[in-house]
Amino acid sequence: MAETVLRKPMKATHSINNAFASKFAKSMFLTVSAIIVLMFIGTRMFTHVDLNLYGYMVGTFVFIAGFFYRFIAWGERPPTKIIIKKGIKLLFRKSTPKISADHLATYQFIWNRGIYRWTQHLLIGWGVILSCLVTFPLVFGWMYFTMEEGGYYTIVAMGIDLMTVPADGVIAFLSYNALNFTAIMVIIGVSMALYRRLKNMQARAEQKFLYDFLPLYLLLFISITGLILTFMNVFLHGAGHYMMSLIHQYSVIVTLIYLPFGKLAHIPFRPLSVFARNYREHYGEQSMKECKVCGEGFVSTEQSQDVVNVLGTNEIDFTMEKDGFNLAELCLPCRRKYRIARFSGFPTHEVKTKEANQNAKG
C-alpha cells in the first residue's frame, strides 16, 4: 500500500517584492512615488510648478533610473554585498562621523596626493554637490520664491514660508547667485584638472577621452552656459535668453543621462566609501592577517577570509596546494614575487627584501 505523504500547504507571502518584476522596478516606483508626494506637499498641491524646469525634471528621472540600474547591478556582486551588509552594521561606530567628514566633506584622502589635486577635487566636488542641492529643490518645487509688495521676496520651502527678505538684500543676492558661485567653483576645478591631465605625462598616458575628458568638458560647458545666462539677463536685458536657456538645459539633461554610466558616477557612489573604511578599521582592530611569506600583517583576518570566500563563490581557486597557502594570504609585494617565481622558477617570494615603493603614497 502506497504511503500517503502529507505536506503542509505553502503560506502565501505578502511581501512588497512580489508586486514588482525586479528590484529595479521596485526602486524606481518607490522613489518616483516619494518624489511626487514631496512635490505635492512642496508645491502646495501642485499650485507652484515651474514648467520652465520640466526638462530638468525629466532628465533627473532618467538619471535616477540609470543610477538604480548601475547600483543594483553593482550591488549584486558578491564583494559588494559583503561591504554593504557589514558596512550597515558598522554604520553607528563612534568614528563614523569623522570618517564621513574626511571622505565626503574635506576629501582628506586626496590630501596625500598633493594640495593641487586636493584643491581641484574640492572645487569640483562641492561645486557639483551645491549645484544639485540648489537645482533639485527648485526643479521639484520643494523651494521657490514669491514676490511680495514693496520689493520683498518670501522664501518658501516644502510649502512653508521660511522668511521674507528684501529683494536687494544680502540673502536674496546669495540666493539668486548661488548657481553662479558654484559654476565658478566648477570652472576653476575643471580647468585645474584639465591642465594637469594635459601637462602631466604620466596622467596623459593613462587618460581616455570618453571616460576621463568628456565628463570634465560637460561640467565646463554647463557652468559656462549658466554664467552666460546670467550675463544675458543682467547686461543684455534678456536678449538671447531663450536660446541660451535651451542650450544650457539640454547640456544638463545630457550630463544627467550620462552621469550614472561614466566617471562622474563616483559622486553619488562616494558615500559607500565610508562603509569600506569602517570595514577595514573595525576588523583591523580585531586581528590582522599575517603574510604567509614575510609574516607582516597586511589586512584584517576578516577581510582575508572574505576574499577567499568571494573567490570561492565565483568558482575561482587560488589555493597553492604545493606551497600550502592561498594567494589571498600573501601581502601584495610577496604576491607579486610569488607570481614571478611561478614563471621564472626562482623562489623570489622567499626573498625578505621588500619593494622600495610598496608604502609610497599617492
Q: What is the pLDDT of residues 36-59, one digit of tens each?
A: 999 999 988 888 888 888 889 999
Task: Assess whether pLDDT exceeds 50 at residue 65.
Answer: yes
Cα dihedral across residues 319, 323, 328, 329: positive or negative: positive
Please say if the pLDDT value at position 33 is more than 70: yes
Taking 60 as the threshold, does the pLDDT of residue 211 lie above it? yes
For residue 48, the one-letter residue type is H
Inform me whether the pLDDT recorded for 188 exceeds 90: yes
pLDDT of residue 362: 37
pLDDT tens per residue across span 303-360:
888 888 888 887 787 887 777 788 888 888 888 877 777 776 666 555 555 554 444 4
- How far CA 23 is from CA of 14, 19, 69, 256, 339, in Å, comes to 16, 10, 9, 22, 41
Instruction: Give the separation between CA 97 and CA 99, rounded to whole angstroms.
Output: 6
Taking the C-alpha atoms of residue 294 and residue 331, their distance in angstroms, rounded to an integer, is 8
Residue type, 1: M
User: How many other C-beta atoms lie within 10 A of the C-beta of residue 333?
Assistant: 21
Mapped onto helix, strand or coil, the DSSP state of residue 178 is helix
Residue 145 binned pLDDT confidence (cut-offs 50, 70, 90): confident
What CATH number labels 22-273?
1.20.950
CA 85 to chain centre: 18
Whole-angstrom distance, CA of residue 253 vs CA of residue 54: 11
CA dihedral 274, 275, 280, 286 (to 10 degrees): 120
- Which residue is it, cell 548661488? 178
User: Over pLDDT 70: what percentage of the chain?
Assistant: 90
pLDDT of residue 226: 94
Phi, psi values for residue 299, rounded to 5°: -145, 170
In the chain, what are the domain boundaries?
Answer: 22-273, 288-350
Phi, psi of 163 (to 5 degrees): -160, 160
User: What is the radius of gyration, based on Cα positions, of the chain?
Assistant: 27
Residue type (1 letter), 208 = K
Residue 126: partners with Cβ closer than 8 Å, 6 or more residues away: 182, 185
